[in-house]
Amino acid sequence: MNPAVFLGTGALLAAVFALQEWVEVRQMSHHINFTLLLAAWGVQYLLWGAICWVLWQFFGPKLQRVSWFWAIAGLFPLSILLSVLEEMVWVLCFPNLPLWMPHMKYWSRVLFQLRAELVDGLVIFWCAFFLFRGVGYYQRYREKEAAAAKLEVQLAQARLHAMRANLNPHFLFNTLNGISSLMRSDVTAADLMLEQFSSLLRICLERGEAQLIPLREEMEFNEMYMAMQDRRFDGRILQEICVQPELHDALVPAMILQPILENAYRHGLCHLSDTGLLKIEARKENARLRLNVLNSGIGLNPECSKDSDNHNLGLVNVQDRLRLHYGANQSFSISEVDPAKVLVSITLPLQLCEDPAPVLAEYGA
Amino acid sequence: MIPTILADDELLARQKLRQMLFEDKEIELVGESGTTSETLDLVRRQRPDLLFLDIRMHGRDAFDVVEELASDADFPMPTIIFTTAHDGYALRAFEVHAADYLLKPFTSERLKVAIRRATLQIQSRLTPPPTHQTQNGINPYANRIVFKSRGRILFLPVSSIRWIGAEENYVRICTEGESYLLREPIGHLEEKLDPQLFLRVHRSSIVNLQFVKEVRTESTGESVVILLNGQRLSMSRTYRSRINEWLTHS
């Protein structure tokens, strides 16, 4: 703490007591020099202010931690010693005091003063001591609280990371498996899939730890993912992407749509022998962002979703992540829209990324 | 036949590229090297037209190879296609006028595109380009654009662009089969494009005139530009006179 705090408090107390004494003396119809009063009280409390500051500065942490036994056994003599010393210095400063008394020698004046003021000194010392203890308790309480808050944030971060890790290996090994099976039947296709897969990995690696990314990057990833799926479906799926232009810079949780798309392919589109539809739409609704994924297929089949519990893991994961990022300020719904189409709809608060990363673009001959 | 050298410090990478290049009848493989110093020696001895250059090799950087070859003004610089697993060097590759920049692994389709570009570059080097030179001999307009899209680096020749549409702070560049989103104001892009080849037809669109089939005025009085593939782009009155001017001149 700043020494000014101690000296300022001392000066304030001194002014209050000086004023009080002056008023008292006036009421008894005596006259007294206010400047002298102020000086006397001022020196008294500024001395205590200095003492308290020294104690705080050099022994603060010790005073806050010392056991009550030692506080009394060790500090009580110290408090008396300090009070005596303070009075000795004070008396030295004011040789003309006390007023209205015959002149006395230095030591008699010290004794006179101590008889009147020793208790005051002790009270000041112990008040300061308890105040220090109190400040110590408060600080430790605040530190604990801050640590708890930090821990909570870290926990949420760790959970988010774990979820992203859950998404990635699943997707990763499925793709590798797909490539492995293509290698026997269609080398060119396997080659193309490997190229697309490396592009996806590059995008993911570049993104790094970022939890929220611009929609443009999210859609880039999804386009790659859909291009890879397209090959498996021989182009039977009509893909439609509608993103309102002002939403390219809107922030969304990274890989929030991929599990939904995966779900659309695995539980909807794969049941179709004919052509199918997969549509992604990003729309601005007031101050909110709506993301829709619509796919044709067999609709929502309750029996189908019961028998394979793990397939919904991806969607549960999406909901959990939305909750962790936005709390209650988001929505997720899955519904069947006629005929036999499934619509997944997400809304979240619209945030635009402030400083979009520069896109590598150069012109040249 | 194009005399070609492969430089890559990984045996498997060279093997794959070699197999892919065997299928191309235009390419004649005249040597392979695994380090930068080997590459320098080989290129100086063989004087190839085309060099596939891995950026990270034992020894020095691939750019040192280019620099050293370029330091001899009399030496015929081969056309270079960079191959790398890392995408951090694209701009430098672009600056040294590489024909293309392949990120490993790449498909044979992608390799074909790169070879086609390299072939064009080799031919234009043999016959100096007659087109659109300004008085001081420097073409102020871009011939290609480099950017990153979907995890790839593209050295896109502007001639392959069909049309460009503005989407707020972005432009969508449409080629034959694909479209790319680029963070760039459309006005800025317009300045970089040769007005002999590209025309702004609307506040939010630019067309490549080579792909324009016709300009039509609908019964509603609205003008549209129709591209060779049937795509229709609406045209605003302010830009109408410009296309008329172009039509009468060509």
For B51-75, write each residue's pLDDT tens digit: 999 988 877 888 999 999 999 888 8
Which region among A165-174, B178-187, B209-218 has the lowest average model confidence (pLDDT)?
Answer: A165-174
Q: What's the pLDDT score for residue A363?
A: 81
Contacts of B95 in chain A (CB under 8 A): 364
Residue B237 pLDDT level (bands cut at 50, 70, 90) = confident
Contact A365 B144 (CB under 8 A): yes
Q: Which residue has the tokens 């005091």?
A: A97
* Pick from B117, B97, B125, B119: nearest CA to B27: B119
Is pLDDT above 50 for B204? Answer: yes
Let me know whether B171 and B221 are in one domain.
yes
Residue B35 in domain? yes
Residue B83 pLDDT level (bands cut at 50, 70, 90) = very high
Distances (CA, A) of A152 to A158, A161, A324, B158: 10, 14, 11, 52
Let me know whether B156 and B109 are in one domain.
no
Q: How many distinct structural domains can be found in chain B?
A: 2
What residues contact residue A362 under an 8 Å CB cut-off, 6+ apart? B91, B94, B145, B146, B147
Contact A199 B143 (CB under 8 A): no
Q: Which residue range forms the structural domain that includes residue B160?
A: 144-249
Separation between Cα atoms, residue B107 and residue A198, nearest integer Å? 11
The helix-helix angle for B11-22 and B108-126 (nearest 10°) equals 70
Contacts of B106 in chain A (CB under 8 A): 195
Contact B147 A361 (CB under 8 A): yes
Instruction: Flag residues of chain A having pLDDT under 50.
Output: 166, 306-307
pLDDT digits (tens, 9 = 90+) for A127-178: 888 888 888 888 889 988 888 887 777 777 766 666 665 455 767 787 888 8
Let me know whether B87 and B24 are in one domain.
yes
Contact B151 A246 (CB under 8 A): no
The pair phi, psi for residue B34, each rounded to 5°, is -115, -10
The single-letter DSSP state of residue A198 is: H
Q: Are A329 and A278 in contact (CB under 8 A)?
A: no
Residue B133 pLDDT level (bands cut at 50, 70, 90) = very low
Q: What's the pLDDT score for residue A357?
A: 59
Contacts of B146 in chain A (CB under 8 A): 360-362, 364
Order of all β-strands in the sheet with A331-337: A237-243, A276-285, A288-296, A341-349, A331-337
Contacts of A364 in chain B (CB under 8 A): 94-95, 97, 142-146
Q: What's the pLDDT score for residue A277?
A: 93
Residue B134 pLDDT level (bands cut at 50, 70, 90) = very low
Residue B113 in domain? yes
Residue to substitute from A186, A355, A362, interface B, most B β-carbons within 10 A: A362
Let me know whether B113 and B149 are in one domain.
no
Let me know whether B29 and B68 are in one domain.
yes
* Pick from A207, A231, A232: nearest CA to A217: A207
Residue B137 in domain? no
Last residue of one domain, picked from the residues B70, B97, B126: B126
Interface residues from chain A to B (CB-CB < 8 Å): 188, 191-192, 194-195, 198-203, 206, 216, 220, 223-224, 245-246, 248-249, 356, 358-365
Of A191, A356, A359, the CB nearest to B107: A191
Separation between Cα atoms, residue B74 and residue A95, nearest integer Å? 102
What residues contact residue B45 under an 8 Å CB cut-off, 6+ apart? none
Residue B133 in domain? no
Q: Kind and range of the H or E element at B54?
A: strand B50-54
Is pLDDT above 50 for B132? Answer: no
Of A201, A206, A361, the CB nearest to B184: A361
Residue B200's CATH number? 2.40.50.1020
> Around Cβ A10, how many Cβ atoms within 10 Å?
24
Contacts of A360 in chain B (CB under 8 A): 90-91, 146-148, 153
Q: Which residue has the higher pLDDT, B134 or A165?
A: A165
Residue B28 in domain? yes
Contact B150 A203 (CB under 8 A): yes
Which region among A226-240, B137-151, B175-189 has the lowest average model confidence (pLDDT)?
Answer: B137-151
Identify the structural domains of chain A with CATH numbers, from first to last: 3-148 (no CATH), 186-349 (3.30.565.10)
Residue B180 in domain? yes
Let me know whether B57 and B165 are in one domain.
no
Residue B205 pLDDT level (bands cut at 50, 70, 90) = very high
Residue B94's CATH number? 3.40.50.2300
Separation between Cα atoms, residue A132 and residue A126, nearest integer Å? 10
Closest-CA residue of B relative to A244 is B167
Last residue of one domain, picked from the residues B82, B99, B126: B126
CB crowding A138-171: b at 16 or more within 10 Å, else e: eeeeeeeeeeeeeeeeeeeeeebeebbeebeebb
Contacts of A350 in chain B (CB under 8 A): none
Separation between Cα atoms, residue B151 and residue A196, nearest integer Å? 9
Last residue of one domain, picked from the residues B126, B155, B190: B126
Residue B46 in domain? yes
Closest-CA residue of A relative to B102 is A195
Is pLDDT above 80 for B84? Answer: yes
Q: What's the pLDDT score for residue A305?
A: 52
Separation between Cα atoms, residue B207 and residue B213, nearest integer Å? 11
Closest-CA residue of B relative to A359 is B183
The DSSP line for A39-106 is: HHHHHHHHHHHHHHHHHHHHHHHHHHH--HHHHHHHHHHHHHHHHHHHHHHHHHH-TTPSTTS----H
Q: How many CA atoms lie within 13 A of A228 on its CB side?
A: 27
Let me know whether B164 and B78 are in one domain.
no
Q: What's the pLDDT score for residue B138?
A: 62
Let me know whether B106 and B169 are in one domain.
no
User: How far B150 CA lies from chain A's nearest CA (Å)?
Assistant: 6
Contacts of A365 in chain B (CB under 8 A): 97, 139, 142-144
Separation between Cα atoms, residue A133 and residue A70, nearest integer Å? 14
Q: Which residue has the higher pLDDT, B232 or B129?
A: B232
Let me know whether B8 and B107 are in one domain.
yes
Residue B245 pLDDT level (bands cut at 50, 70, 90) = confident
Q: What's the pLDDT score for residue A280?
A: 96
Let me know whether B20 and B120 are in one domain.
yes
Let me know whether B8 and B108 are in one domain.
yes
> Structure tokens of A122?
């002790």
Residue B134 in domain? no
Contact B168 A248 (CB under 8 A): yes
Residue to substitute from B134, B154, B181, B188, interface A, most A β-carbons within 10 A: B181
Of B107, B139, B150, the CB nearest to A223: B150
Q: What's the pLDDT score for residue A163?
A: 60
Let me know whether B106 and B9 are in one domain.
yes
Closest-CA residue of B relative to A192 is B107
Interface residues from chain B to A (CB-CB < 8 Å): 87, 90-91, 94-95, 97, 103-110, 139, 142-153, 167-170, 181-184, 192
Is pLDDT above 90 for B5? Answer: yes
